[in-house]
Amino acid sequence: MKNTQILLAARPRGFPDETCFRVVETDVPTPKAGEVLVKNHFLSLDPYMRGRMSDAKSYAAPQPLDAVMIGGTAGEVVASEDPGLAIGDRVVGMLGWQEYGVASAKALRKVDPSVPLSLYLGALGMPGVTAYVGLVDIGAPKEGETVVVSAAAGAVGSVVGQLAKSRGARAVGIAGGADKCAYVTGELGFDACVDYKSPTLREELAASTPGGVDVYFDNVGGVVLDTVLPRLNTFARVPVCGLVSQYNATEPYGVRAFGAILVSRVKVQGFIVTDHMERWPEALRELGRLHAAGGLRGRETVAVGLRNAPAAFFGMLKGHNLGKQLVDLR
C-alpha cells in the first residue's frame, strides 16, 4: 500500500500557488509501541495554514519545507500498538495533508461514532472551540448586547453568532456577498448581516447596529476592522482571532481608526485557541449540547481527493467556501 502526501515545497510571496506544494507517494508507515496508524477520512483546511507557510516570526514555528503540510484530520484507526485505541475507533488529530498517518495514541482524540465524523473538524472541533474561547472568555457578551463577527459564514464565525444568540445577545454578521449574508441570517439565525463588499458598508453596518457594538469578534482585520472600530461602545471587547485579509498582503494594512480604542476604552485581545487547552472540555460539552438540541447549524464545502487540496485551499483563502472547508480523503 502507498500513502499519498502533500509537502510544502516553497514559501509563497503574496498569494500562494501550486508551486508551493509537491505531491509524493511513500510506503504506509507502521506504528510502534504506543502508536496507531490512522486512515484519514477528512482533512481540515483553515486560514492559519497560510501563516504557517511563511517563515516570518509568529506564534508558532513555520511549517518546515519538504515536510507534510500541517492540518487537522479525522479518520479511523487501522492498526494499533496501544491498548487505549482499537482498530475501527474514530479519532481526530493533526496528521496533516496525507492519506495515512502514524501518531501517539495520546495525541489523538477518540470521538463518538454516532456523530458525523466531519463535524469534529468544524463546529465540534477546533473551529468551534475557537469561537467559544474568543466569545465567551474574551468577548463575554451580556444578554441584550450586540455582537458583530466578521467572516460570519465561515467555520468559526458561524459558531460565534449562534453562541451569542444562545446567550441572549444580538448577532450581526459581516460576510462576502448576498448569498452568504442570506445564509447567515436565514439558516444560521443571525439578526442581521452586512456585505463587506458593498460600497455602502459603513452605512449598512450603522443601520444594523443602531445601539452600537459591544463585542466585535475579528477574523479578518484590515478595512473591515477599520469600519467596525468607530461603532464600538464604551468598554467594548474585541477578541482578535484572525487577520485573513492580511495573510497574502505584501504590505501591512495601517489601521486608521485606532483612536476609537482609547476613546471608547476598548479591550482588544489576540488569542490562539491552543493557549487555552484547559477550556476545551467545557467548550466541547456546550457545543455538543447545542448541536444535540438543534441549536448549532452549519454547512460544509467539500473537495474530493487529496490532490485537490491545494485548489480548495486557494479557494478558501479567496472566500469561495460556505461554512467549513474540508477535503474528503475516502
List Cα–Cα distances, 255 to 116, 165, 174, 318, in angstroms. Answer: 41, 30, 18, 22
Confidence of residue 250 (pLDDT cuts 50, 70, 90): confident
Residue that is written with C-alpha cell 458525523 in the block: 116
**What is the pLDDT averaged over residues 283-287?**
97
Phi-psi region of 54 (alpha: psi -120 to 50; beta: other; left: phi over 0): beta
The residues that bridge with 232 in the sheet, in sequence order, are: 213
Strand 170-175 relative to strand 192-195, pairing: parallel
Chain segment 24-46, per-residue pLDDT in tens? 999 999 999 999 999 999 999 99
Q: Quote the percentage of the chain above a pLDDT of 90.
A: 96
Q: In 10 A of CB 107, how many CB atoms?
A: 12
| Lowest-pLDDT choice from 111-120, 141-150, 246-255, 307-316 | 246-255
Number of helices (H), then strands (E), belonging to the chain: the values are: 9, 15
pTM beyond 0.85: yes
Structural contact between residues 43 and 330, judged by C-beta atoms closer than 8 angstroms: no
* Bridge partners of residue 2, in order along the sequence: 27
The string of pLDDT tens digits covering residues 39-89 is 999 999 999 999 999 998 888 889 999 999 999 999 999 999 999 999 999
Sequence-distant (6+) residues with CB within 8 A of 102 are 29, 30, 31, 32, 35, 36, 37, 38
Rounded CA separation 247/325 (Å): 17
The reported pLDDT for the residue numbered 252 is 86
Query: According to DSSP H, which parts of the chain are helical?
Result: 48-53, 126-132, 155-166, 178-186, 201-208, 222-228, 259-263, 280-292, 309-317
- 3-state secondary structure at position 172: strand
Predicted confidence band of residue 110 (pLDDT cuts 50, 70, 90): very high
Report residue 6 CA to chain centroid gap: 21
Q: Name residue 217's beta-bridge partners.
A: 149
Structural domains in the chain, sorted by start: 2-122+299-328 (3.90.180.10), 126-274 (3.40.50.720)
Cα separation, 13 vs 196, whole angstroms? 25
State which amino acid sits at residue 78: V
pLDDT tens-digit readout, 203-224: 999 999 999 999 999 999 999 9
Distance CA 158, CA 179 (A): 14
d(C-alpha 147, C-alpha 62), whole Å: 33
HEC letters along 96-137: CCECEEEEEHHHCEECCCCCCHHHHHCCCCHHHHHHHHHHHH
30: left (phi over 0), alpha (psi -120 to 50) or beta: beta
CA 97 vs CA 8, 44, 116: distances in Å: 10, 9, 20
14: left (phi over 0), alpha (psi -120 to 50) or beta: left
| Among 51, 23, 14, 107, CA closest to 310 | 23
Q: What pLDDT is attached to residue 59?
A: 85
